[in-house]
């Protein structure tokens, strides 16, 4: 009897081993473990056997059954594995082919620089002030200590709309507007914006361009504060090793007035073609707010002092990226704009 | 202002090399625009032409034996004016001239050891060269010593420093003024001008009367010099003028220019025999005419000042003389004027006439009356010395003769409070004294008296600037202001950044175009115009192209696309955040808008051939994303008034809070064709209106634990029925409806003609389980309402 069981087991395991598909395996399994399986037949024949025989044979038959079941299980896993492997094989791709194209947009380089400057100053507690581009003469000139007939009006020939209204020639009128609005309270602002002058457009001139202006007014603001602020700004914009220097200059709305040079960020100050071999590059105009301006805006110059500074965004951007022609900013050639992709 | 280094050294005891001076003037005085040697050429020596013979192989060359003191050299010369006995400028072998390096050579078989030079060959501008030497070599005076430096003999071995003058520093428009500033920089001594001249017994007042009839002339000095001999100026005057960029003419004219450069006091010389004995300074009559020295007839107005002989103008005061009294070769007697006029008046006249002279530049900024007499007297000395003139006794003066010093009080504490650094009292005193200001100290206070020549110093802070720059701006500390204020972006500024970054993130390129545009374009795309809105125009535009302020950005964006398309760049997407400008009545308005243009392919799978082209709904989707970022809801309305720039059937107005705030649609195909762009979609949105109200915080909503339920309906409606309205109606019909989406649109013969079938998917959400009965009854109610309002039926 047990010999018969052994044969059945042997036969079953061989068939299981040889099964090629899941279907075949399932058929083998139901043949050997079903109600009409050879094992079941043997068990039926046990009806006449002794209790002792029934016990031993029953146990042996169960063992055979279990052996078949676990062989089926193992085979099933092997077959499944093979199926998956075959499928994976078929699904091979070339990972070096390009991905879906999502267009990468760009922010205009001038606005990138403006946002960067704004963020530097916001970090120092400044607000962003704005004002109209169609400005009245009073704010653009007169309140800034440039009365009619003042020679400084020569420096910036303007686009007038009528006798009293013009396209602002500088962002400085925002200084006057901000001070008037602040009504005697401390002021700490920067102001980016478009300005307009009667210039023929060429590689270095544009009738429309962008300025960035700063104004700080309070009781104890000194010229050393101005220098510290601009020094920090230049380090953030052009690298931490940058130094600055002041040179005497003139603006009607500041006294003293200075031009601000930054040590050349290309050669580090040794002298190169970028800095015309001087080691320094002119980037800003600045000064202490002129008492006439403070007075005109309702601040007592005996009590309040302040500083102001201004820069051309085009110039800073051109210096930083080595752009040689200001007209690029307004031509908007995609091949130019695309070079300013990215967020950092 | 061009500063001659040699002249400066004559005026002060300066030991600083020219290049260093130029560098340091920028830091302590005023911006230096350029620095160079006056004449770049090297190795130029005085030679004496001992012998000249014809070159045997040439009909125009001469072979010269030139003597240099210790040695002689043979030089071949092609100049027509070379003669034996001349002292000439020789460039020896090795000399570097603008035209190249001189080498020993053989010219047509004859050895030549250098070149006899013209002034042009040294690099001197032709305008400085006397006409007699315009086409040949320059001939030096007989006193030139052979073998010595030729440039030194000519006084041209000089350096020139060009100052970038700011409008305030009128004092630096003279050599004396520059000398005072440089003297303060290095704390060196001045060399006082010493001069004397003989006065004839004849009195000036017997020869001349002066009367001032306008207050625009502050001061008028005059002297008369008789019997002048008009000739070439001495070498040093010519050299100084050339270094200063002024063309030498003759001794009398040159002396007036020399004085102008030295003192900053413009002088004018009249030919007295043409002028007569009378000078009247008055305002010009409207329409009065005079011919100026440049031979142009000038029409005058009442705001001009004229010098007259009592009848006719003989000079436009402070600007330019008239030719009727010009000093010429025939002039014998001269009237010299040293006057000061009202700056504003000169400025007006010179800018109206477009006439900028060395004199007007100085008068516009202000001339120091305290120096007028000295300048005049120094000129008389020079005229006596170099024009053999006889100076009449005394001078005539009308008007102000002297302006007192201005006195300021400053303290070291004030200086410290302003600059943020301590400068000791005595240091401040030193600086002020070095600047030739008077200083007295009382109780830790400095009383500083500033002479009139520093017209720019009018307030205490101006004096602080003087102290600061001379002390050195490099001495300032670097501190940050300490203030009780906070900063940051406003809501509107934040929102504008969101707009910019949203478009960027969706693949659009930001551009900046000009605010000024052509009057022809200004009405284009102005769909958002206000009632009674008009255009803002420049009163004097530079060109028609930039004559008015734009009222829409789109025509500029179309140009950007046309530009790029012409350069084979396809699939364009550009946007701009800018302003539109307009006027209502007298008031001007500026509104921030965002505008965009897009065309070409929708970005997608990289190598499959299925490409979609941008259409209306693509752009609408972009705008919907923008509005979601901004948390605003905008409605779309078909455009009902067609324009020639937008496609009449594919344009929508954007409505926010019952106000039209923008539009989006296809460029009119005709417009696109005319402007060389492919099918493109554009939009413009008024950001100010959209961002007007601050956003409220939206409270958190509990998330339903019950899954949502979807139902699909095929709705048949009139083909003209806007679907948006229907969707909105469904959305609003029940609180449980969280989403209504269109997933198919059918127009065709499977349904009744004149109808369309719109398949919508409705999503319902609720806190309780939604049974089939509840859903069915809700759908039934919706359908009933749609049927009633829009005659919509369910598709069979």
pLDDT of residue B695: 78
Nearest to B261 by CA among B350, B378, B354: B378
Q: pLDDT band for position B583 (50/70/90)? A: very high
Answer whether B582 touches A (CB < 8 Å): no
**Would the CB atoms of B536 and A127 count as touching at under 8 Å?**
no
CB-CB contact of B421 with B472 (8 Å): no
Task: Calculate how close chain A gets to B672, using CA atoms only, in Å.
Answer: 19
pLDDT digits over B217-230, tens only? 999 999 999 999 99
Secondary structure (3-state) at B174: coil
Distances (CA, A) of A5 to A36, B75, B101, B338: 15, 133, 118, 141
Assess whether A202 and A318 both reside in one domain: yes
CA-CA-CA-CA dihedral for A14, A16, A21, A27, to nearest 10: 120
For residue A256, tell me if it sits in a domain. yes
| Residue pair B317/B337 in contact by the 8 Å Cβ criterion | no
Give the separation between CA B792 and CA B796, rounded to whole angstroms: 12
Closest residue in chain B to residue A223, using alpha carbons only: B419
- Of B121, B116, B51, B103, nearest to B77 by C-alpha is B116
CA distances to A18, A194, A315, B646 from A130, rounded to whole Å, are 84, 10, 21, 33
Consecutive H or E run containing B154: helix B150-154
Would residue A99 count as lying in a domain?
no
Residue of A nearest to B505 (CA): A105
End-to-end CA distance of chain A: 83
User: Residue B134's pLDDT is what?
Assistant: 84
Which domains are delineated in chain B? 2-38+159-186 (3.30.56.10), 44-154 (2.40.50.140), 199-399 (3.50.40.10), 406-475 (3.30.56.10), 491-690 (3.30.930.10), 709-794 (3.30.70.380)
Cα B760 from chain centre: 62
Q: For chain A, say whether B563 makes contact (Cβ under 8 Å).
A: yes
Together in a domain, A191 and A296: yes
A residues 160..189 contacting B (CB < 8 A): 160-162, 165, 167, 186-188
Does residue A160 sit in the same domain as residue A302? Answer: yes
Distance CA B131, CA A344 (A): 64
Q: Which residue of A has its CA nearest to B466?
A: A256
Query: Does residue A103 lie within any of the structural domains?
Result: no
- What number is the average pLDDT over the span B49-57? 89
Tokens for B413, please give them: 């504490």
Q: Give the model confidence (pLDDT) of B395-426 as tens digits.
A: 999 999 899 999 999 999 999 999 999 999 99
Beta-carbon separation of A223 and B516 below 8 A: no
How far away is chain A from the Cα of B720, in angstroms, using its nearest Cα? Answer: 36
CB contact under 8 A, A332 and B563: yes
CB atoms A255 and B462 under 8 Å: yes
Residues A160 and A23 both lie in one domain: no
Min mean pLDDT across A35-49, A226-240, B760-774 is at: A35-49
Looking at the DSSP assignment, which residues form a beta bridge with residue B199?
A: B391
Over residues B434-453, mean pLDDT: 94
A203 plus A336 within the same structural domain: yes
What is residue B133's predicted lDDT score, i.e. its pLDDT? 86
Does B266 have pLDDT greater than 90?
Answer: yes
Chain B nearest C-alpha distance from A157 (Å): 11
Question: Which is higher by pLDDT, A46 or A124?
Answer: A124
Q: Do B514 and A330 touch (CB under 8 A)?
A: yes
Structural domain includes residue A98: no
**A303 at interface of B, judged by CB pairs closer than 8 A:** no
* Residues B712-726, mean pLDDT to the nearest whole number: 93
The DSSP bridge pattern shows strands B209-212 and B297-299 to be unpaired
Domain end position, chosen among A59, A90, A121: A90
Is the pLDDT score of B487 beyond 90? Answer: yes
The reply to whether residue B506 touches residue A107, judged by beta carbons under 8 angstroms, is no
Cross-chain Cβ contact B514/A247 below 8 Å: no
CB–CB of B473 and A150 under 8 A? Answer: no
Q: At B577, is the pLDDT very low, low, confident or very high (cuts 50, 70, 90)?
A: very high
> Is residue A164 domain-shared with residue A78, that is, in the same domain?
no
B164 contacts chain A (CB < 8 A): no
pLDDT at B165: 82
Q: How many CB pairs under 8 A join A and B?
A: 237
Region A112-139: mean pLDDT is 96
Give the angle B380-B382-B388 at the CA atoms, nearest 5°. 85
Nearest to B228 by CA among B434, B450, B391: B391
Which residue from A258, A227, A307, A229 is spatially nearest to B469, judged by alpha carbons? A258
In a domain, A291, yes or no: yes
- What pairing do the DSSP bridges indicate for beta strands A280-289 and A305-312? antiparallel
Interchain CB distance below 8 Å, B347 and A151: yes
List of chain A residues whose C-beta atoms are within 8 Å of the C-beta of residue B481: 188, 216, 218, 221, 225, 229
Lowest mean pLDDT among A286-290, B115-119, B575-579: B115-119
Looking at the structure, tell me whether residues A21 and A149 fall in a common domain.
Answer: no
CA distance A115 to chain B (A): 9
B513 has a chain A CB within 8 A of its CB = yes
Whether A265 maps to a domain, the answer reads yes
Residue B672 structure tokens: 């696109």
User: What's the per-residue H, E or C state across B216-228?
Assistant: CEEEEEEEEEECC
Selection from B207, B353, B346, B216 nearest residue B282 by Cα: B216
pLDDT of residue B392: 96
For the beta sheet containing B445-450, the strands, ordered from the edge strand earlier in sequence to the opposite edge, are B406-410, B445-450, B438-442
Q: Please name the residues in contact with B458: beta carbons below 8 A apart, sequence gap of 6 or more.
A: B406
Q: According to the model, what pLDDT value does residue A148 have?
A: 81
Residue A97 lies in a domain: no
Verify that A156 and A33 share a domain, yes or no: no
Confidence of residue B642 (pLDDT cuts 50, 70, 90): confident
pLDDT for the residue A156:
56
- Strands B199-203 and B390-393, how do they pair? parallel
Q: A95 lies in a domain?
A: no
- Is the pLDDT confidence value at A155 over 70? no
> Does the structure show a pLDDT above 90 at A60?
no
pLDDT digits (tens, 9 = 90+) for B320-368: 999 999 999 999 999 999 999 999 999 999 989 999 999 999 999 999 9
A185 and A296 belong to one structural domain:
yes
* Cβ–Cβ below 8 Å for A218 and B461: no
- The answer to whether residues B709 and B770 touch, using CB atoms and an 8 Å cutoff, is yes
Residue B135 is predicted with a pLDDT of: 86
Taking CB atoms and an 8 Å limit, are A305 and B417 in contact across chains?
yes
Using CA atoms, how far apart are residues B794 and B788, in angstroms rounded to an integer? 13
Q: Mean per-residue pLDDT for A278-307? A: 95
Instruction: Please write the tens of the pLDDT for every residue from B528-569.
Output: 989 999 999 999 899 999 999 999 999 999 999 999 999 999
Residue to mutate among A114, A179, A193, A248, with most B CBs inside 10 A, is: A248
> Which of A62, A90, A118 marks a domain boundary?
A90
Residue A337: list chain B partners with CB under 8 A: 509-511
Q: What are phi and psi of B49, to 5 degrees?
A: -80, 105
Tell me: pLDDT of A32 over 90: no
How many angstroms separate the CA of residue A249 from the nearest CA in chain B?
A: 6
A68/A113 same-domain check: no
What's phi and psi for A166, nearest 5 deg?
A: -150, 165
Q: List all residues 6 or more positions away from B614 whose beta carbon is below 8 Å from its beta carbon.
A: B598, B599, B600, B601, B602, B681
Q: Tokens 């915080």 belong to which residue?
A: B697
Nearest to B663 by CA among B688, B644, B681: B681
Nearest CB partner across the interface for A151, out of B365, B569, B606: B365
Contacts of A8 (CB under 8 A, 6+ apart): A32, A38, A39, A42, A64
- What CA–CA distances, in Å, run from B10 to B191, B193, B569? 7, 10, 65
Chain B: residue whose CA lies nearest to A249: B30
Find tokens 């507690």 and name the residue: A125
Q: What is the mean pLDDT of chain B?
A: 93
Write the DSSP symbol of residue B172. Answer: G
- Tell me how far the alpha carbon of residue A145 is from its chain's centroid: 42
Count of beta carbons in the 10 Å neighbourhood of residue B737 = 17
> B750 touching A, CB under 8 A?
no
Residue A344 — very low, low, confident or very high, per pLDDT cuts 50/70/90?
low
B538 in contact with A, Cβ within 8 Å: yes
| Dist. CA B373–CA B222, nearest whole Å | 9
Partners of A165 on chain B (C-beta within 8 Å) are: 588
pTM: 0.87
Distance from CA of A88 to the nearest CA of B (A): 23
Residue range B235-259, pLDDT digits in tens = 999 999 999 999 999 999 999 999 9
Rounded to 10 deg, the angle between the B251-263 and B372-387 helix axes is 150
Query: With a CB-CB cutoff of 8 Å, which residues 129-158 of chain A face chain B?
Result: 132-134, 149-152, 154-155
The answer to whether B316 and B349 have CB atoms below 8 angstroms apart is yes
Contact assessment for residue B517 and residue B557, using Cβ atoms and an 8 Å cutoff: no
Tell me, yes or no, whether A272 and A203 share the same domain: yes
Nearest one of B527, B577, B521 to B550, comparing CA atoms = B521
Work out how many domains chain A is built from and give that number: 2
Do B569 and A107 make contact, defined as CB atoms within 8 angstroms? no
B620-635 tens-digit pLDDT: 999 999 999 999 999 9
Q: Per-residue pLDDT for A42 more than 90?
A: no
Query: Please, which residues 217-236 of chain A have a Cβ atom closer than 8 Å to chain B?
Result: 218, 220-225, 227-229, 231-232
Q: How confident is the model at residue A152 (pLDDT cuts 50, 70, 90)?
A: low
Asked if A62 and A173 sit in the same domain, the reply is no
Predicted confidence (pLDDT) at residue A16 exceeds the cutoff of 60: yes
As given in the structure block, the two tokens for residue B303 are: 């705001």
What range defines the domain where residue A37 resides? 2-90
State both tokens at A275.
């800095």
Confidence of residue B441 (pLDDT cuts 50, 70, 90): very high
CATH number of the domain that residue A283 is part of: 3.30.930.10
Q: Which residue has the higher pLDDT, A300 or A148?
A: A300
- Taking alpha carbons only, the member of B101, B115, B142 closest to residue B45 is B115
Q: What is the pLDDT of residue B384?
A: 97
- Answer yes or no: is pLDDT of A151 > 70: no
Residue of B nearest to A209 (CA): B514
> Is B20 part of the contact surface with chain A (CB cutoff 8 Å)?
no
Residue A1 clears pLDDT 70, i.e. is over it: no
Q: Which of A90, A125, A149 is the last residue of a domain?
A: A90
pLDDT(B727) > 90 = yes
């Amino acid at each position: 009897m047990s010999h018969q069981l052994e044969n059945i087991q042997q036969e079953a395991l061989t068939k299981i081993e040889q099964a090629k598909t899941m279907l075949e395996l399932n058929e083998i399994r139901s043949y050997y473990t079903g109600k009409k399986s050879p094992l079941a037949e043997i068990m039926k024949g046990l009806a006449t056997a002794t209790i002792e025989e029934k016990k031993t044979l029953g146990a042996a038959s169960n063992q055979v059954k279990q052996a078949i079941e676990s062989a089926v299980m193992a085979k099933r896993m092997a077959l499944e594995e093979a199926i998956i492997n075959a499928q994976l094989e078929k699904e091979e791709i070339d990972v070096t082919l390009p991905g879906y194209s999502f267009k990468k947009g760009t922010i205009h380089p001038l606005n990138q620089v403006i946002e960067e400057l704004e963020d530097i100053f916001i970090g120092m507690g400044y607000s962003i002030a704005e004002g109209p581009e169609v400005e009245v003469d009073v704010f653009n000139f007169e309140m800034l200590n440039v009365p009619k007939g003042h020679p400084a009006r020569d420096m910036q020939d303007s686009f007038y709309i009528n006798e009293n209204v013009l396209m602002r020639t500088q962002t400085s009128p925002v200084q006057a507007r901000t001070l008037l609005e602040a009504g005697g309270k401390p002021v700490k602002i920067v102001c980016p914006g478009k300005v307009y002058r009667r210039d023929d457009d060429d590689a270095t001139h544009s009738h429309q361009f962008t300025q960035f202006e700063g104004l700080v007014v309070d009781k104890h603001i000194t010229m050393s504060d101005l220098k510290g602020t601009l020094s920090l700004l230049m380090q953030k914009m052009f690298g931490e090793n940058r130094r600055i220097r002041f040179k005497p200059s003139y603006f009607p709305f500041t006294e003293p007035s200075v031009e601000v040079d930054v040590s050349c960020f290309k050669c580090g100050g040794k002298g190169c073609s970028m800095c015309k071999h001087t080691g320094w590059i002119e980037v800003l105009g600045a000064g202490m707010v002129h008492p006439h301006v403070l007075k005109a805006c309702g601040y007592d110059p005996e009590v309040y002092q302040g500083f102001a500074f201004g820069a051309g965004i085009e110039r800073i951007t051109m210096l930083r990226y080595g752009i040689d022609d200001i007209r690029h900013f307004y031509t908007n050639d995609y091949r130019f704009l695309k070079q300013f992709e990215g967020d950092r | 202002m061009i500063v001659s280094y040699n002249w400066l050294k004559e005026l002060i005891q300066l030991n600083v090399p020219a290049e260093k001076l130029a560098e340091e003037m920028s830091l302590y005085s005023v911006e230096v625009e350029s620095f160079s040697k006056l004449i770049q050429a090297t190795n130029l020596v005085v030679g004496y032409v001992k012998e000249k013979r014809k070159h045997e192989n040439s009909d125009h060359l001469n072979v010269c034996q030139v003597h240099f003191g210790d040695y002689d050299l043979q030089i071949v010369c092609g100049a027509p004016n070379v003669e034996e006995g001349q002292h000439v400028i020789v460039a020896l072998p090795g000399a570097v001239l603008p035209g190249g390096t001189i080498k020993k050579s053989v010219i047509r078989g004859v050895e030549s050891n250098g070149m006899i030079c013209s002034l042009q060959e040294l690099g001197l501008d032709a305008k400085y060269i006397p006409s007699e030497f315009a086409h040949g070599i320059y001939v030096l005076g007989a006193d030139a010593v052979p073998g010595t430096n030729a440039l030194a003999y000519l006084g041209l071995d000089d350096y020139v420093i060009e100052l970038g003058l700011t409008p305030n520093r009128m004092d630096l428009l003279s050599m004396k003024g520059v000398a005072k500033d440089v003297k303060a920089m290095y704390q060196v001594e001045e060399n006082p001008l010493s001069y004397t001249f003989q006065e004839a017994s004849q009195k000036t007042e017997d020869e001349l009367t002066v009367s001032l009839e306008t207050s625009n002339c502050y001061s008028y000095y005059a002297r008369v010099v008789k019997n002048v001999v008009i000739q070439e100026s001495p070498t040093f005057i010519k050299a100084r003028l050339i270094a200063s960029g002024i063309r030498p003419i003759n001794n009398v004219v040159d002396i007036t220019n020399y004085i102008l450069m030295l003192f900053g006091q413009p002088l004018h010389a009249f030919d007295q025999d043409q002028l007569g004995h009378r000078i009247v300074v008055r305002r010009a009559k409207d329409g009065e005419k005079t011919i100026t020295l440049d031979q142009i007839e000038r029409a005058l107005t009442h705001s001009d000042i004229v010098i007259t002989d009592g009848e006719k103008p003989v000079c436009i005061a402070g600007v330019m003389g008239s030719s009727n009294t010009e000093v010429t070769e025939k002039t014998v007697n001269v009237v010299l004027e040293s006057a000061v006029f009202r700056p504003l008046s000169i400025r007006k006249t010179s800018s109206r006439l477009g006439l900028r002279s060395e004199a007007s530049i100085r008068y516009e900024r202000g001339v120091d009356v305290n120096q007028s007499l000295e300048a005049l007297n120094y000129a008389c000395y020079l005229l006596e010395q170099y024009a053999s003139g006889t100076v009449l006794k005394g001078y005539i003066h009308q008007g102000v003769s002297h302006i007192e010093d201005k006195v300021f009080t400053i303290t070291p504490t004030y200086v410290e409070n302003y600059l943020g650094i301590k400068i000791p009292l005595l240091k401040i005193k030193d600086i002020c004294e070095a600047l030739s200001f008077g200083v007295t100290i009382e109780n830790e206070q400095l009383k500083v008296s500033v002479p009139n020549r520093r017209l720019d110093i009018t307030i205490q802070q101006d004096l602080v600037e003087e102290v600061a720059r001379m002390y050195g701006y490099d001495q300032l500390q670097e501190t940050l202001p300490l203030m009780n204020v906070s900063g940051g972006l406003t809501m509107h500024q934040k929102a504008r950044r969101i707009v910019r970054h949203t478009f960027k993130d969706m693949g659009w390129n930001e551009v900046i175009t000009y605010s000024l545009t052509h009057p022809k374009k200004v009405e284009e795309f102005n769909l958002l115009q206000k009632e009674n809105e008009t255009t803002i125009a420049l009163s004097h535009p530079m060109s028609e192209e930039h004559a008015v302020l734009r009222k829409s950005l789109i025509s500029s964006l179309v140009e950007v696309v046309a530009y790029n398309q012409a350069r084979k760049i396809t699939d364009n997407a550009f946007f701009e955040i800018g302003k539109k400008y307009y006027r209502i009545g007298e008031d001007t308005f500026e509104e921030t808008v965002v505008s965009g243009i897009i065309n070409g392919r929708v970005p997608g799978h990289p190598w499959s051939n299925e490409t979609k082209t941008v259409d209306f709904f693509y752009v609408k989707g972009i705008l919907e994303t923008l509005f979601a970022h901004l948390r605003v809801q905008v409605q779309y309305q078909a455009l009902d008034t067609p324009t020639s720039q937008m496609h009449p059937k594919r344009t929508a107005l954007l409505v926010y809070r019952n106000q039209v705030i923008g539009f989006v649609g296809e460029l009119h195909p005709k417009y696109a064709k005319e402007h060389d762009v492919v099918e493109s979609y554009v939009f413009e949105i008024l950001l100010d209106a959209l961002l007007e109200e601050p956003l409220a915080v939206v409270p958190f909503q509990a998330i339903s634990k019950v899954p949502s339920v979807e139902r699909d309906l095929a709705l048949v409606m009139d083909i003209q029925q806007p679907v948006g309205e229907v969707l909105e109606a469904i959305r609003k019909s029940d609180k449980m409806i969280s989403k209504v989406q269109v997933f198919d649109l059918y127009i065709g013969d499977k349904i009744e003609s004149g109808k369309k079938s719109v398949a919508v998917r409705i999503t319902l959400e609720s806190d309780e389980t939604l049974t089939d009965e509840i859903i069915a009854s809700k759908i039934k109610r919706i359908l009933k309402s749609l049927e009633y309002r829009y005659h919509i039926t369910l598709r069979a």
